[in-house]
């Protein structure tokens, strides 16, 4: 299914795309704004990625998470992946979930030593997904904050290379 999205044979609300990574809206989001980030090459689980592929996909996560947080006015973003059937993976193309979280509605619940995640899948319309994707893309196109710019200058690195993919 994800390979069909990469190839353009299946519909998707694209947030970001380059030659190694693709980010798009989850059609069954656990929260509005739920984004999936995948490598464009088919790899079933994370251990199927080589080091360079893993690094390339991972480099996109901070900017995507920041754009998602800003676009949804979230207080945080939970990032997770499920690898293998026993872990709950149902689509066997490695992917990372980026889920916006608001302080008044946390995903993670702690009660003593018991920790639970409250995830409820809800179908979203293509119009809803396209609107959220546009909002996130618009945040990707905005300049980095002063703090991020200072970090980039100090490390000698450049922005992660994320760009707006309007019309993609």
Q: Which CATH class is domain 2-153?
A: alpha beta
Dihedral (C-alpha) 143, 37, 74, 32: value to the nearest 10 degrees? 130
When the pLDDT of each residue in the chain is averaged and rounded to a whole number, the result is 86
Please confirm, yes or no, whether 42 is among the known catalytic residues. Answer: no
- Whether the pLDDT of residue 164 is over 60: the answer is no
Helical ranges in the chain per DSSP H = 2-6, 51-72, 126-140, 146-155
Confidence of residue 153 (pLDDT cuts 50, 70, 90): very low
Weakest mean pLDDT among 5-19, 92-106, 145-159: 145-159
pLDDT band at 119 (very low <50, low <70, confident <90, very high): confident
Half-sphere exposure of 85 (CA within 13 A, CB side): 0
Residue 143 has a pLDDT of 60
Instruction: Pick the catalytic residue from 34, 93, 95, 97.
Output: 95
Which segment of 14-18, 21-25, 134-138, 149-153 scores lowest on mean pLDDT?
Answer: 149-153
pLDDT computed for residue 141 by the predictor: 78
Question: What are residue 96's DSSP bridge partners?
Answer: 37
pLDDT at 142 over 80: no
- Indicate the pTM of the whole model: 0.83
């Amino acid at each position: 299914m994800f390979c069909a999205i990469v190839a353009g044979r299946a519909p998707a609300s694209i947030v970001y795309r380059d030659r190694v990574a693709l980010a798009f809206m989850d059609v069954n989001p656990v929260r509005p704004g739920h984004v999936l980030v995948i490598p464009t090459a088919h790899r079933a689980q994370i251990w199927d990625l080589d080091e360079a592929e893993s690094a390339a996909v991972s480099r996109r996560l901070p900017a995507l998470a920041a754009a998602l947080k800003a676009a949804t006015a979230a207080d945080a973003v939970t990032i997770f992946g499920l690898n293998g059937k026993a872990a709950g993976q149902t689509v066997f193309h490695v992917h990372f979930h980026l889920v916006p979280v608001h302080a008044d509605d946390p995903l993670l619940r702690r009660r003593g030593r018991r920790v639970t995640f409250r995830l409820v899948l809800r179908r979203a319309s293509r119009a809803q997904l396209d609107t959220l994707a546009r909002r996130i893309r618009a945040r990707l196109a905005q300049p980095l904050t002063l703090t991020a710019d200072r970090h980039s200058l100090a490390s000698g690195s450049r922005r992660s290379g994320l760009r707006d993919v309007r019309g993609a």
